[in-house]
Amino acid sequence: MRQDRFSLYRRGSVWYVQFYNPHTRKYLSGRSTGESNRNAALLIVAEWLRDGLPEPARGSRRLRELLDLDLALSIIRRAPLTPDDAERLVRILEDRQLIEDTVIKAGPGSEPFTGFLERFWDYEQSPYVRERLAHGQRISRRHCYDARNRLDFYWRPYFGKEKRLSEIHKSDLGAFSLWLKEEKELKANTINNVISVGTVALRWAAINELIPVNPAEGLMTFSGKPAKRGVLTDSEVKKLFALCWPDEHSKIGNMLAMSTGLRAGEVVALQVRDIGEDRLCIRHSWNKWDELKGTKTDTERSVPIIPSIRESLRDLARRNPHGVGPTTFVFWSSGKPSRPMEADRLINGLQAALLRLTLSEDEMKDFSKLRPAREYWKSRRVVFHSWRHYFAARMADRLEKRKVVMLATGHATGAVFDAYADHGTEEIFREVEQAAQDAFGRLLQFPGFEARTR
């Protein structure tokens, strides 16, 4: 069907023309030829088809342009437009300087971007968190807390309060990631963790039609190996635990982590019922955001325990001022019976003990000596989590099968854990127990403490 098809009709004594749009299968609005004679009207129409139709504001316009505009308007009229769609259309018109100061009804994408991220990572209010929990997927308060910290430290200072969710483009995210790399000088793994705060939220927003497309789709991540944790030598470990620690809880907790590979949250979550004759049952983890919850892999496991540490744990539990029962915490808090001590005590106790490895008691009071000692241990990257690396390395030296280390430390997850779990027999447990005794028993000493935590 020809695109210049038209129809003539008369209104009163004047002939009018309507042009047919093959794309919409409808005629455009009628136009007056100004002629009362039909042949003269046909000549006018022929001129319009050749030279363009008269437009009061711009002289003339080709019929092709009018048909395209008619098609565009027809699509817009039928489309299920949202305020965000309207905003995109208005932005096009503003860029062409055809309109200005247009007020659009607020839509989901008009929310300030950083405000959206704040709501998204609010554990109590987040629809994302609610969806994950409803589908049986895990997400912790600690995870949301870390995300909001990254939001406050990096996303908010860069994007500010004015930029809206619908205004975020892939180029913005790319520039932000380079800012983290070049201006903030963050490591690759840290940058990826920071970026995920936004990319997870934007993917969810696109899936739930708050924005038309996901601007984070295809965004490149950074590659690079994370810095390794520092690990103490056997000689340093022996000297460390030969020291008198002011905080008995912290010393026993660090000894336990060194000889079992437990995480800090798993140490403080231990309850009296978890202490067996030759093993610990690791059921829970604790942090101040989620409180008592399952382990990181959401599975229980048993780990061998050295007799001297077992007795220290029992002794510590017996001195709980709130009383002792199966579910009372071994690493109790003197102020709150329903809570264990904070994991920070384990970390702070280790840091203080490391300083005592290199400084005398008098030097500990001298800031000029204390500062270099702190910098030394910082450069060594020895932290509480280093005990897991120390434990795994010493056990791997003594065991033929690394799967035993995974069973003991809870490293394995998913299909890997399933493949090994059936072989976690008593024989393997005894093999791990003997290896632990050989590796760590000689390193542990239990001298008197300078003070006891009550």
**Whether residue 428 sits in one domain with residue 294:** yes
Question: Quick one: 300 and 360 in the same domain?
Answer: yes
340 assigned to some structural domain: yes
Q: How many residues does the chain have?
A: 454
Residue 446 in this model has a pLDDT that exceeds 70? no
Band of pLDDT at residue 211, cut at 50, 70 and 90: confident
Q: Is residue 216 part of a domain?
A: no
88 found inside a domain: no
On the 0-12 / 13-18 / 19+ scale of CB atoms within 10 A, 422 is exposed
262 close to 282: Cβ distance less than 8 angstroms: yes
Note the pLDDT of residue 321.
92
User: 122 and 263 share a domain?
Assistant: no
Mean pLDDT for the chain? 84
Spell out a b/e string for 242-252, using b for 16 or more CB atoms within 10 Å of the CB, else e: ebebbbbbbbb
> What confidence tier does 449 reach under pLDDT thresholds 50, 70, 90?
very low
- Whether the CB-CB separation of 453 and 248 falls below 8 Å is answered with yes
Q: Could you tell me if 74 and 154 lie in one domain?
A: no
Same domain, 21 and 134: no
**393 CB-near residues (< 8 Å, 6+ apart):** 231
Please report which confidence band the pLDDT of residue 421 belongs to, taking 50, 70 and 90 as the band edges.
very low
**Is 69 in the same domain as 117?**
no
Q: Which domain holds residue 427?
A: 234-443
| Residue predicted with more confidence, 430 or 31 | 31
Q: Is residue 105 one of the residues assigned to a domain?
A: no
The region that residue 59 occupies, defined by phi over 0 for left and psi between -120 and 50 for alpha, beta otherwise, is left
CATH of the domain at 428: 1.10.443.10
Per mean pLDDT, which range of 261-265, 298-302, 376-380, 400-404 is the poorest?
Answer: 400-404
Cβ atoms < 10 Å from Cβ of 421: 13
Residue 218 domain flag: no
The answer to whether residues 256 and 363 belong to one domain is yes
Residue 451 lies in a domain: no
Asked if 304 and 199 sit in the same domain, the reply is no
Whether 398 shows a pLDDT value over 80: the answer reads no
| Residue bearing the bigger pLDDT, 420 or 267 | 267
Give the tens place of pLDDT for each residue, 281-313: 999 999 988 888 888 777 788 888 988 899 999
| Tally of domains within the chain | 3
Say yes or no: 311 and 394 in one domain: yes
Tell me the HSE value of 454 on the side-chain side, using a 13 A CA sphere.
2
Q: Assess whether pLDDT exceeds 50 at residue 223.
A: yes
Min mean pLDDT across 118-127, 247-256, 383-392 is at 383-392
- Determine contact, residues 109/134, Cβ cutoff 8 Å: no
Report yes or no on 295 lying in a domain.
Answer: yes
In a domain, 227, yes or no: no
Token pair 């996303």 is found at: 155
Tell me the one-letter amino acid at 202.
L
> Do residue 16 and residue 149 come from a single domain?
no
Query: Measured between alpha carbons, how far is 191 from 222 in angstroms, rounded to an integer?
Result: 7
User: Do 191 and 42 sit in the same domain of this protein?
Assistant: no
Looking at the structure, do residues 255 and 122 belong to the same domain, yes or no? no
